Amino acid sequence: MIGKSLDIGSSVIRFFSKNFYTLILFALVLISAFSSIWLFYFEIVKDTNPLSSIPAHIVKTLFDAMVLMSPFFVVKRRGFVFIPLILLDVFCLSAVWYYRNYLDIIPFSSFLLYENLTPLLLESAFASARWIDCLAIVPTLMTGVLYKFVLQKKVQKERRRLWWPVIVILSVFVCFHIFLSVRDIKSKQYDSLTDRFVTFPNNILYFDLNGMCGYILYHAATSLLPQPELTEEETIRIQDYLDAYPRYADNIYSVNENKNLILIIVESLNSWVIGKSFCGEEITPCLNRIVNDSNSITAVHVLPQVKDGRSSDGQFMFNTGLLPLKSGAVATRYDDVDYYSIAKALKRRNYTAVNMTVDGNNYWNQAEISVAYGYDQNIDRLGGGTSVTDSVLMERAIEKIKVQKTPFFYQLITGTSHKPYNEPYRKTKLSGATEFPEEVRNYMEVIHYTDRCIGAFVDSLRSNGLYDNTVIAIASDHNQLLSPCGVPDYNDTEAAFIVANAGVKYTHTSVMGQIDIYPTLLDIMNCNDYAWKGLGYSILRTPVGSAAGWNGTVYGNEGDSLASRQIEAWDISEKIITKGYFSLK
């Protein structure tokens, strides 16, 4: 026994002596990886779940870092380890910046949307940076410098493949997670070893349970596995769900028959700004006039139901009446589906459908998805080389509309009010509202600008004799989280839906979802004979008082009679989109 112990001890000593500088480099790489993952944990997971165990995550983060960097031992050129290390840094830093804006983890599929990598998006990301983010950058830079100028030649002399450290790391990692699963079964939290890996309420809590490696493996598996087709049971469930919707085909707003429709989707419009004035300046004078008009619809308690597709998810709901995917963007993953849509409903009556956006056709896959929505024409950047301002969008739109054959449906997608909110070139009195943080003041200024652009557009419709025969719907693509503020009525979690020249005066005072906009537009435009009325409810017919988020949380009246169906709608929508339900109809 003593002899064997001595042999093992001498083997360990020989291993360390032969690979001394290699192990020093691995320790430095390990610290760098640990630092990035810890930033991810502390800024996202701990912020979401304050009860998350820090000691447990120290162990998880250490194991994750070791597993992710373990290829270091099996490549002779040790410098290659900086490739996965830098990729890890980029992911963790991107995830933290994404979370600070959207309160979720950035989906891996978003990294493939290189077309979305515009100067505006980069500026928005950098605006979210904080000093603590250096945890994902500085350790890697320092390790790189030490490797280049101190360790590289010494490590190269020790160059050999070492498989057994990898085997040990992976074995201990697996045993650790088996231990966690067994512990959870004994505490009756789960019933089987695999439950903790497949049962979770959201991405952040999944990471909290299973760490970085578990999170990566789960999403890699779910992305690569083929989506099964609808089962007979699922088809019946979807049909039964749809059959329970109110059935109606009457058009009670005949005053709007064959009127033109213009849908203006406003970037990041928080509804709390509507009707507000500070320092003697209205934030949204144009929208205020519409709200106060006797021929308008107003809803300022709209729950944003966008997910990973953000702006494109808003467009998706308004156009199709379906909820977005819980993971990934519909616009890029399912752009080949033959969707029912507001454009197709109107085109049965000889409408021309045109989509105009300030961004390029490749941004959120506008070129392909606009075809799926049924638009006859998609105009991006309006002939310019880069994204254009909202004023240019409105000016070019009115030029086309003046010569457009009627009836028509135009969708105008703004973009100037996208984050970041820098100091405006031309300040108004709103910049003097010092009770707000600087970011909020700048936000009010940019919304004031976009409102002015919309006002000029509406005035042009009037001067060209088009206003009286046109319904103008204005909807937020999503909300925008801003700096915390204690000013009364300040709320950056609700969106808006406003309709000018609607044929009716109606103010929706309770909560509704973005999913309810599609059936309401069908109602306003006398398209109730269209078979597909979406998964929401027309607020002109149904007393909607609640809405459900993707995680099952009900907003508004939690006891609302529609709440259970609103929750189920997310699952129904997911199956309709991903399993080809429309191809069966």
Residues 463 and 575 in one domain: yes
Q: How would residue 16 be classed by pLDDT, with cut points 50, 70 and 90?
A: low
Q: How would residue 283 be classed by pLDDT, with cut points 50, 70 and 90?
A: very high
Exposed e or buried b for every residue in 440-462, given b needs 16+ CB within 10 A?
bbbbbbbbbbbbbbbbebbebbe
Residues 217 and 314 in one domain: no
Nearest to 420 by CA among 402, 403, 445: 445
Instruction: Judge whether 218 lies within some domain.
Output: yes
Asked whether the beta carbons of 132 and 39 are under 8 A apart, the reply is yes
Task: Confirm whether residue 477 is marked as ligand binding.
Answer: yes
Asked whether the beta carbons of 44 and 105 are under 8 A apart, the reply is yes
Instruction: Judge whether 243 lies within some domain.
Output: no
Residues 212 and 347 in one domain: no
Mean pLDDT confidence for 186-210: 73
Residue 45 DSSP symbol: I
Q: How would residue 45 be classed by pLDDT, with cut points 50, 70 and 90?
A: confident
Asked whether the beta carbons of 257 and 408 are under 8 A apart, the reply is no
Could you tell me the pTM of the whole model?
0.76
Beta-carbon contacts of 182 under 8 Å, excluding residues fewer than 6 positions away, are: 193
Mean pLDDT confidence for 334-359: 92
Beta-carbon contacts of 94 under 8 Å, excluding residues fewer than 6 positions away, are: 106, 111, 125
Amino acid 199: pLDDT: 60
Mean pLDDT confidence for 61-90: 88
Mean pLDDT confidence for 264-272: 95
Q: Which of 204, 224, 244 is the last residue of a domain?
A: 224
Task: Confirm whether residue 478 is marked as ligand binding.
Answer: yes
Amino acid 8: pLDDT: 53
Residues 482 and 536 in one domain: yes
Res. 5: pLDDT tops 70: no
Q: Which of 224, 254, 271 is the last residue of a domain?
A: 224
Residues 400 and 498 in one domain: yes
Q: Which of 176, 208, 224 is the last residue of a domain?
A: 224
CB neighbours of residue 15 within 10 Å = 14
Q: How would residue 33 be classed by pLDDT, with cut points 50, 70 and 90?
A: very high
Peptide bond into 543 cis (omega under 30): no
Residues 207 and 281 in one domain: no
Q: How would residue 80 be classed by pLDDT, with cut points 50, 70 and 90?
A: confident
- Give the span between the Cα atoms of 565 and 185, in whole angstroms: 32
Q: How would residue 239 be classed by pLDDT, with cut points 50, 70 and 90?
A: very high
| Token pair of 195 as six digits | 């439950």
Instruction: Judge whether 251 lies within some domain.
Output: no
Instruction: Judge whether 2 lies within some domain.
Output: no
Most confident region among 74-88, 113-127, 165-179, 399-413 by mean pLDDT: 399-413
Amino acid 425: pLDDT: 83
Asked whether the beta carbons of 517 and 259 are under 8 A apart, the reply is no
Mean pLDDT confidence for 321-340: 86
Q: How would residue 254 be classed by pLDDT, with cut points 50, 70 and 90?
A: low
Nearest to 320 by CA among 377, 369, 380: 369
Res. 223: pLDDT tops 90: no
Residues 191 and 281 in one domain: no
The dihedral over CA atoms of 479, 484, 485, 488, expressed in degrees to the nearest 10, equals: 50
Instruction: Judge whether 231 lies within some domain.
Output: no
Task: Confirm whether residue 267 is marked as ligand binding.
Answer: yes
Amino acid 506: pLDDT: 95
Nearest to 390 by CA among 268, 301, 260: 268
Amino acid 235: pLDDT: 92
Q: How many Å separate Cα 76 from the centre of its chain? A: 41
Amino acid 303: pLDDT: 96
Residue-wise pLDDT for 155-195, tens only, equals 777 777 788 888 999 999 999 888 888 888 887 776 677 77
387 catalytic residue (yes or no) = no
How many folded domains does the chain comprise? 2
Beta-carbon contacts of 82 under 8 Å, excluding residues fewer than 6 positions away, are: 29, 140, 144, 147
Instruction: Judge whether 467 lies within some domain.
Output: yes
Residue 50, classified by CB atoms within 10 Å of its CB into exposed (0-12), middle (13-18) or buried (19+), is: exposed
- In this structure, of 175-189, 256-270, 290-304, 537-551, the range with the lowest mean pLDDT score is 175-189
Instruction: Judge whether 229 lies within some domain.
Output: no
The 3 state secondary structure assigned to 117-170 is CCHHHHHHHHCCCCHHHHHHCHHHHHHHHHHHHHHHHHHHHCCCCCHHHHHHHH
Range of the domain at 487: 262-583
Residue-wise pLDDT for 496-549, tens only, equals 999 999 989 999 999 999 999 999 999 999 999 998 999 999 999 999 999 999
| Token pair of 475 as six digits | 């909807």
Q: How would residue 253 be classed by pLDDT, with cut points 50, 70 and 90?
A: low
| Token pair of 23 as six digits | 């192990």
Amino acid 464: pLDDT: 95
Q: What are phi and psi of 489, to 5 degrees?
A: 70, 0
Res. 320: pLDDT tops 90: yes
Residues 527 and 388 in one domain: yes
Instruction: Judge whether 241 lies within some domain.
Output: no
Residues 160 and 269 in one domain: no
* CATH code: domain of residue 275: 3.40.720.10
Amino acid 228: pLDDT: 73
Q: What are phi and psi of 280, to 5 degrees?
A: 80, 15
Amino acid 405: pLDDT: 92
Residues 274 and 202 in one domain: no
Looking from the CA of 562 toward its CB, the CA atoms found within 13 Å total 23
Mean pLDDT confidence for 60-65: 92
Residue-wise pLDDT for 93-125, tens only, equals 988 988 887 777 877 777 766 556 666 666 767
- The CA-to-CA distance between both ends of the chain, in Å, stands at 75
In terms of pLDDT, which residue wins out, 548 or 326? 548
| Token pair of 462 as six digits | 């009037």
Residues 188 and 275 in one domain: no
Own/partner contacts of 382-390, CB < 8 Å, gap of 24 or more, are: 382/356, 382/358, 386/118, 386/119, 387/118, 387/120, 387/358, 387/359, 387/360, 387/363, 387/415, 388/358, 389/358, 389/416, 389/453, 390/358, 390/414, 390/415, 390/416, 390/417, 390/449, 390/450, 390/453, 390/454
Tell me if residue 560 falls in helix, strand or coil: coil
Residues 324 and 410 in one domain: yes
Mean pLDDT confidence for 356-381: 83
- Give the span between the Cα atoms of 411 and 475, in whole angstroms: 11
User: Which member of 35, 268, 271, 311 is catalytic?
Assistant: 311
- Give the span between the Cα atoms of 221 and 346, in whole angstroms: 41
- In this structure, of 247-256, 380-389, 432-441, the range with the lowest mean pLDDT score is 380-389
Strands 512-513 and 296-303: parallel
